């Protein structure tokens, strides 16, 4: 039972690293989800097919008269709330590639976004002005496809991966609220995990860069983004785990294009949080649930708020190793 529980748990963590949108740059939003790489960030699950259903809620604001480029406009005193899910399927190949395990994933976000602003402008302090504007939408976002390659040596696990945002979701120019990004994006990362099954301790860290294309609707190109994450987790038994985690985000190159009226608009933010996980068996299928809570601080040029991420993961099929 412990083997199946651990298999589903690791699958859920691996799927999470390639799954959801997050926050930064144009619209205060980027497609990489900060905090998604928690415990087991570098551990690859056994060969097979896995399904994950995440639920993500975020609430934050950019107060103090600060401006944010969104939907081709400038918005002041922005507050945003979002709730969405992003069903994800992960396939892990049965054959080794370069001495490691290869995984491929696909994600389709759908959800609700609400954004309000004290004032909006068509340009920086000129053009058409609207006060107390609010916009909300329930729609589908850009799909995300990804791949990863992982290795292990005893209790040490290593992983390299990438994900691509495909700009075919529902995007509306001149609207404050959008779930889609309307731009190509590529994220690359590396992760390391030390997990000792005899003690139940998991130490994980991951770092990566997100490279963004131009949004043709707004002539806005978001700069390159750096993200760093870490987690310390304790498995108290095969069913229950708990830990602490956090992330740091920093935009390393400035925004550009005719739509970048605020200049380079480099942003940064940090967050600390906690996680709990619980696994149960439904019939013969292990079902993994996990809850993460984050509080952000030290934000620059982006919203600062709180996030909740709840996930449920199940293996659809696991390929048994061939008998010698």
Where exactly are the structural domains of the chain?
Answer: 2-55+89-106+141-317
Dihedral through CA 97, CA 103, CA 104, CA 105, nearest 10?
A: -170
What is the structure's pLDDT at 118?
66
Nearest C-alpha neighbor of 76 from the set 31, 130, 155, 128: 130
User: pLDDT per residue over 12-23, tens digit each?
Assistant: 544 544 444 444
Mean pLDDT of 160-189: 93
The token pair that represents 97 in the structure block: 């590639």
For residues 119 and 77, the answer to whether their CB atoms sit within 8 Å is: yes
Specify the fold of 2-55+89-106+141-317: Porin (2.40.160)
Give DSSP secondary structure letters for 98-153: TTEEEEEEEE--EEEEEEEEEEEEEETTEEEEEEEEEEEEEEE---EEEEEEEEEE
Structural element, H or E, at residue 231: strand 225-235
Is residue 81 exposed (0-12), middle (13-18) or buried (19+ Cβ within 10 Å)? middle
Confidence check: pLDDT of 4 > 70: no
User: pLDDT per residue over 278-290, tens digit each?
Assistant: 999 988 899 999 9
For residues 279 and 235, the answer to whether their CB atoms sit within 8 Å is: no
Name the band, by pLDDT with cuts 50, 70 and 90, for residue 193: very high
The token pair that represents 161 in the structure block: 């991966």
Q: For 5, which DSSP code?
A: H
Distance, in Å, from the CA atom of 33 to the CA atom of 313, rounded to the nearest integer, reads: 18
What is the structure's pLDDT at 176?
80
Q: Considering only 121-125, 142-146, 170-174, 228-232, which range has the smallest mean pLDDT?
A: 121-125
Nearest C-alpha neighbor of 318 from the set 24, 1, 2, 4: 4
User: pLDDT per residue over 131-161, tens digit each?
Assistant: 677 889 999 999 999 999 999 999 999 999 9
Strand partners, 199: none
User: pLDDT per residue over 225-284, tens digit each?
Assistant: 999 999 999 999 999 999 999 999 999 999 998 877 777 888 899 999 999 999 999 888
Q: Considering only 19-28, 100-109, 150-159, which range has the smallest mean pLDDT?
A: 19-28
- Between 99 and 71, residue with greater pLDDT: 99
Q: What are phi and psi of 26, to 5 degrees?
A: -60, 135
Name the band, by pLDDT with cuts 50, 70 and 90, for residue 65: low
Structural element, H or E, at residue 39: none
Name the band, by pLDDT with cuts 50, 70 and 90, for residue 25: low
The token pair that represents 206 in the structure block: 């991951």
Nearest C-alpha neighbor of 255 from the set 96, 95, 67: 67
Alpha helix positions (H), the chain: 2-16
């Amino acid at each position: 039972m412990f083997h199946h529980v651990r298999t589903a748990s690791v699958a859920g963590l691996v799927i999470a690293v390639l799954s959801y949108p997050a926050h930064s740059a144009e619209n205060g939003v980027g497609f990489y989800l900060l905090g998604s790489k928690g415990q087991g960030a570098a551990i690859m699950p056994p060969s097979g097919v896995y399904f994950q259903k995440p639920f993500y809620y975020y609430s934050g604001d950019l107060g103090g008269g600060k401006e944010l480029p969104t939907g081709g406009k400038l918005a002041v005193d922005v507050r945003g709330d979002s709730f969405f899910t992003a069903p994800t399927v992960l396939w892990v190949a049965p054959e080794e590639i370069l001495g490691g395990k290869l995984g491929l994933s696909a994600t389709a976000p759908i959800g609700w976004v609400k954004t309000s602003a004290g004032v909006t402008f068509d340009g920086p302090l000129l053009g058409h002005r609207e006060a107390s504007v609010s916009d909300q939408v329930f729609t589908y976002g850009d799909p995300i496809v990804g791949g990863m390659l992982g290795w292990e040596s005893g209790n040490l696990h290593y992983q390299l991966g990438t994900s691509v945002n495909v700009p075919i979701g529902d995007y509306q120019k001149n609207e404050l609220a959008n779930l889609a990004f309307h731009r190509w994006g590529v994220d690359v990362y590396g992760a390391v995990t030390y997990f000792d099954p005899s003690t139940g301790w998991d130490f994980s860290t991951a770092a990566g860069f997100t490279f963004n294309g131009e949004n043709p609707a707004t002539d806005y190109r978001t700069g390159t983004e750096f993200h760093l994450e870490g987690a310390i987790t304790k498995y108290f038994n095969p069913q229950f785990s708990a830990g602490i985690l956090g992330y740091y985000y920093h935009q390393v190159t400035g925004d550009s294009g005719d739509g970048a009226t605020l200049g380079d608009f480099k942003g940064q933010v940090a967050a600390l949080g906690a996680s709990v996980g619980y696994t149960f068996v439904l019939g013969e299928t292990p079902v993994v649930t996990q809850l993460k809570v984050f509080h952000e601080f030290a934000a620059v040029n982006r919203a600062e708020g709180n996030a909740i991420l709840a996930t449920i993961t199940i293996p659809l099929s696991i390929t048994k190793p061939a008998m010698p």
